[in-house]
Amino acid sequence: MKIIKKAQDLKNILLSVKKSNKSIGLVLTMGNIHKGHLSLIEEAKANNRFVLVTIFINPTQFNNQKDYNSYPKTLENDVKKLQSLSFDLLYLPEVNDIYPKGLIKKKSVTKYRNILCDKFRPGHFDGVTTVVDIFFNIVKPNNSYFGEKDFQQVKFINELVKIKNHKINIIECASIRDHLGMSLSSRNSKLNKSQLEIFKKLANKIEKLIDLIKQKNTKIKLEDFKKDLSKININKIDYFEIRDEENLEVSDDCSVSRLFIALYIDKIRIIDNFKLY
């Protein structure tokens, strides 16, 4: 695994790779590497002759500076974890490399708006699609890999590819889950001991709820379930909804739907989604 930080070095390497007609698999990360990221890289390795991974904490997708500053930064440990995978190139750009003319954020995608995370984190997905578009234009990969934990984000990126006419396959990969059945997340690493106990209780309640939903003969009242979460000290919920996988519209038909959640354990935001079929 070669590590580079300079944009010109990346351009030179990519020029050589493309001359040799090697397929390029791209995995974009913001660091704090966990098994979910590693699974994306393994998938990229299995289907491409050249694999490029990035670590870049993108400032334009954060709603406030405090959240950006507090995002877990674990570069030394990240590099150690990544070295064991034996992929080709790790790119660690600076902010000025990605935004040479200063921070920008463009609204390219108009679908899937004012629902789920877009409703509660205005501008977040504009930052995501802006930086992904920049990386796509720089790298021009054949394939790029994204986890389904951020399901709405994957929808936005698929739309971005259509709108910008990128000749890139977006490969959606199933969430890697912990022993509690919850998707692995960089933010979950910030949970302290008491918060982790709440997280475990939450996971247990969600598991039971999904079992009930899958029985299909039980009428589930999500509002009652949301109220019940206050008993385990979860007092702020952004959303707790069942939506169609294809169009993200609210759904009563669980055969093609997922349960989408975003809530807080103290100040730590937990987001996840669960297949209901």
Span 82-124, pLDDT tens digits: 999 999 999 999 999 999 999 999 999 999 999 999 999 999 9
User: pTM for this one?
Assistant: 0.95
Q: Please tell me the CATH superfamily of domain 186-275, with its number.
A: Pantoate-beta-alanine ligase, C-terminal domain (3.30.1300.10)
In terms of Cα–Cα distance, which of 209, 253, 242 is closest to 228?
A: 209
Do 118 and 1 contact (CB within 8 A), yes or no?
no
pLDDT band at 50 (very low <50, low <70, confident <90, very high): very high
Span 183-226, pLDDT tens digits: 999 888 889 999 999 999 999 999 999 999 988 756 678 999 99
pLDDT score, position 74 = 95
CA distance readout (Å), 54 to 35, 189, 224, 261: 16, 20, 42, 28
Where helices occur in the chain by DSSP H, the ranges are 7-19, 35-47, 65-70, 75-83, 95-98, 116-120, 124-139, 151-164, 193-215, 222-228
Close Cβ partners of 237 (under 8 Å, ≥ 6 residues apart): 226, 229, 261, 262, 263, 264
Give the Cα-Cα-Cα angle 127, 132, 136 (nearest 5 degrees): 155
Domain ranges of the chain: 2-173, 186-275
Give me the active site residues, please.
Answer: 37
Helix (H, G, I), strand (E, B) or coil at 249: coil
Q: What is the CATH number of domain 2-173?
A: 3.40.50.620
- Read off the DSSP letter of residue 219: -
Q: In this structure, what are the phi and psi dihedrals at residue 64, rounded to the nearest 5 degrees?
A: -150, 160
Dist CA 203 CA 243 (whole Å): 20
